[in-house]
Amino acid sequence: MGEILATYFSLITVTLGQSLTLSFVVLAVMMPFRILGFPDLTSEGAFPLGGCVCAVALLAGIPPIPALMLSALAGFLAGSTTAFLHLRFRIHTLLAGILVTTMLYSINLRIMGRANVPIFSQDKIFDLLSWLELTGTMTKILVAGGLVTITILVLNYWFLTERGIAMRAVGANPDMAEAQGINVWRATIGGVGLAGAFASFGGGLMVQSQGFADVNMGLGILINALAALMIGEAVLGKRSFLRQLLAPFVGAIIYYQLISICLAAGLPPGDLKIATGLFVIIMLAAPTLRSRKGGRPEREAIRE
C-alpha cells in the first residue's frame, strides 16, 4: 500500500499539468452538448488538427502564442463546418461530426507531410516562464493553469452578455429563440466553432508540452473528455451556469487523478480504456441508482 501511495504522489504533478491541458477538450465537448443542445464529435478531429497546425507553425518560425491562435482558428473552421453541414443539409449532428473528423485525418497528414513531426528545438509557450527557474512540470502547470483561469473568466463574462445569453437561448429552445429575433444559424455555427477552437487550442498546447505532433494523438480523446465531463458534473452539479462552466476543468483534474491511482495500483496502460469506460458507465448510472434507492417507482425512472 505504501508503494502504491508513493507512486501515486509522484504522478500528481505530471497528471495535473496534463489534465489542465486536456481540460480544453472537455470544455469543447461540454459547450455544444450542454449549452447548444448540439451533440458533437468534432473534438476528436479538432484536437490533432490544432496540434498539427501548431507544430507546422512553430517549424515555420512563428512564435508560440500566435501558433496557438492559428491552432484555435483551424479548430473554429472545423467546428463551423460541422454546424454548417447540419444546418444546411440536415445531416445529424453526430454524423456531421464523424464526417468532419474523418476528413480531418487526411487534412492533418497534408498539413504535416508525414505522420509525426518533432518540435523539440523550437521555442514553446512554457519558455516564457524560464526566468522563474522552475522544473518543466511546474512550468507547465503554471502556464496551463493561467490559461484555464483566463478562459473561465472570459467565458463567464461573455455568456452573461446579450450575445452569450442569445446563444444559450438557442440551445434551450431554438424555435422560441428564432421567434425572438435571434439568428439561430449564427449562434449555432459560432458556438460549435468556438468549441472546435478550444479543442484545437488544447491540441496545440499539448504539442508544445510533449514536443511533437502526431496525426493519431486524438485517438480516444473524446471518451476521456466525456468521462471527465460526467465526473465534473456529478461533483459540481448543473444548478448554475458557473458550475456548468467549471465542471469540465474540475472533472478533468479528478479524472486524471483517478487514472494515476489506476496506474499506481499496477493497472496496465492498455487497460486504461476499460477503466475509462467504467467511469463513464458509473457516472451515467449514478442518477438512476440514486432514484431507485430513494424509492421512486421503476416505471417513473424509466420514463425520465
Cross-strand pairs, 212: 118
- Please state, for a pLDDT cut of 90, what percent of the chain lies above it: 69
Instruction: Identify the domain containing residue 161 by its residue range.
Output: 2-219
- Whether residue 284 lies inside any domain: the answer is no
Q: What is the mean pLDDT of residues 17-28?
A: 94
**What is the C-alpha to C-alpha distance for residues 29 and 192, in angstroms, rounded to an integer?**
10
> Given a cut of 80, is residue 148 above it in pLDDT?
yes
Least confident of 193-197, 213-217, 269-273: 269-273
The residue ranking higher by pLDDT, 153 or 279, is: 153
Least confident of 110-114, 138-142, 220-224, 280-284: 280-284
Q: What is the mean pLDDT of residues 238-251?
A: 92
Q: What is the mean pLDDT of residues 66-86?
A: 97
Q: What is the pLDDT of residue 302?
A: 47
How many structural domains does the chain have? 1
Half-sphere exposure of 19 (CA within 13 A, CB side): 24
Alpha helices for the chain (secondary structure H) = 2-30, 43-59, 64-89, 93-112, 136-158, 162-172, 174-179, 184-210, 221-236, 241-264, 272-293, 298-303
- Please state, for a pLDDT cut of 70, what percent of the chain lies above it: 95
- Whether residue 92 lies inside any domain: the answer is yes
Least confident of 44-58, 63-77, 186-200, 223-237: 223-237
**What is the C-alpha to C-alpha distance for residues 255 and 137, in angstroms, rounded to an integer?**
19
Query: For residue 203, what is its C-alpha cell?
Result: 491540441
Question: Cα 288 to chain center, whole Å?
Answer: 26
Q: What is the pLDDT of residue 263?
A: 84
> Given a cut of 80, is residue 293 above it in pLDDT?
no
Which residues lie below 8 Å from residue 140, measured CB to CB, with a gap of 6+? 17, 21, 126, 209
Q: What is the mean pLDDT of residues 161-188?
A: 93
- Whether residue 259 lies inside any domain: the answer is no
The string of DSSP codes covering 31-47 is IIIIIS-----THHHHH
Strand pairing report for 212-214 and 116-118: antiparallel
- Whether residue 31 lies inside any domain: the answer is yes
Question: Which phi and psi angles does 277 have, rounded to 5°?
Answer: -60, -40
End-to-end CA distance of the chain: 42
241-264 vs 272-293: helix axis angle to the nearest 10?
130
Q: What is the pLDDT of residue 4?
A: 78
- Whether residue 280 lies inside any domain: the answer is no
221-236 vs 2-30: helix axis angle to the nearest 10?
90
Which residues lie below 8 Å from residue 295, measured CB to CB, with a gap of 6+? none
183-192 b/e (C-beta count within 10 Å ≥ 16 → b):
ebeebbbbbb
> Given a cut of 90, is residue 283 above it in pLDDT?
no
Band (295; pLDDT cuts 50, 70, 90): low
- Whether residue 115 lies inside any domain: the answer is yes
Band (238; pLDDT cuts 50, 70, 90): confident
Closest among 225, 164, 189 to 77, alpha carbons compared: 189
**What is the C-alpha to C-alpha distance for residues 274 and 279, in angstroms, rounded to an integer?**
9
Grid cell 455568456 in the structure block, residue: 159
Cross-strand pairs, 213: 117
- Whether residue 148 lies inside any domain: the answer is yes
> Given a cut of 50, is residue 304 above it in pLDDT?
no
Question: Which phi and psi angles does 20 have, rounded to 5°?
Answer: -65, -35
- Whether residue 252 lies inside any domain: the answer is no
Q: What is the pLDDT of residue 124?
A: 94
Band (294; pLDDT cuts 50, 70, 90): low
